[in-house]
Amino acid sequence: MQRIETFRRENLTFDVMDSGPLDGQIFVLLHGFPETNKSWQETSEILNQRGYRTFAVNQRGYSLGAQPQKRRDYRSSALVEDVNALLEIIQQPVYLVGHDWGAVVAWEVAQRYPKKVKHLITISVPHKAAFMKAMLSSNQLLKSYYIGLFQLPKIPEFLFEKIPKIGLALLKDSGMTSKQLADFQQDIVAEKRLSSALNWYRGVPFSSNRNLTQPIEVPTLFIWGKQDSAIGAKSVEFNKHFVKAAYKEVIMDATHWIPVQNAKELSQTILETIA
């Protein structure tokens, strides 16, 4: 298989950073909000050095050739099928890695297409059913206030574009570094990805929870940082109940932003787990 810099689904074109040996076993890396596939750069380099090939995807709304306008275009089933389009090109089971919103998508890809996933690795965000259960039994609802905020029309854009002191303060409070904040200003705000990235939140009401409690049936590694301001310990505690396969949980002394801030430890944990 030759290098893949883009792939298409329907009328959308997605950007891919494809690196590492052409014949290496494949990792597909899915970023979260508000980052791009650049968040996987250091992790990719480490995996490439160990002989693995990595595909870091700019997902729907983040690829400039894949920015549909309607909220319903960002429902979870569409996001899952975007990844499946790449898996169809790859034509072999992959190590599927997702962080934040990328983890949400990765869980659902593993639910829907278990034979295409050799090992599932999710970072920061647990299985949706564990998350929802924690909403009812802990302070998770309070921690998730931003989900409602980001679904509002125009207000989030106003905060990030017109009053960046407030918008950036929200991100800084979550543990983002000054370098990450600068990347956000450039990659998301200046390069016109903000509204389409926020549409992941605005698409939530259009997403089906029909398979909410469906367990995962592929080997799974879940990684969480105990300083995570967005995801509480209770949903992590519930997570194992929704995996009916080999399951490993690793809790790091880290914030929500593990792929950027803890790439070496993350890579080592992944490599040890799949060995």
pLDDT value for 117: 98
Residue 233, in any domain of the structure: yes
Residue 223, in any domain of the structure: yes
Residue 211, in any domain of the structure: yes
Residue 1, in any domain of the structure: no
12-35 residue pLDDT tens: 999 999 999 999 999 999 999 999
pLDDT value for 31: 98
CATH code assigned at 75: 3.40.50.1820
What domain range includes position 131?
6-274
pLDDT value for 209: 86
The answer to whether 59 and 30 are in contact (CB under 8 A) is yes
Q: Report the number of distinct structural domains present in the chain.
A: 1
Percentage of the chain with pLDDT > 90? 92
100-120 residue pLDDT tens: 999 999 999 999 999 999 999
pLDDT value for 160: 95
At 1, the pLDDT band (50, 70, 90 cuts) reads confident
Residue 151, in any domain of the structure: yes
The answer to whether 173 and 143 are in contact (CB under 8 A) is no
pLDDT value for 199: 98
User: Is residue 145 pLDDT above 90, yes or no?
Assistant: no
Residue 139, in any domain of the structure: yes
Residue 60, in any domain of the structure: yes
- Region 42-64 average pLDDT: 98
Residue 239, in any domain of the structure: yes
User: Is residue 208 pLDDT above 90, yes or no?
Assistant: no
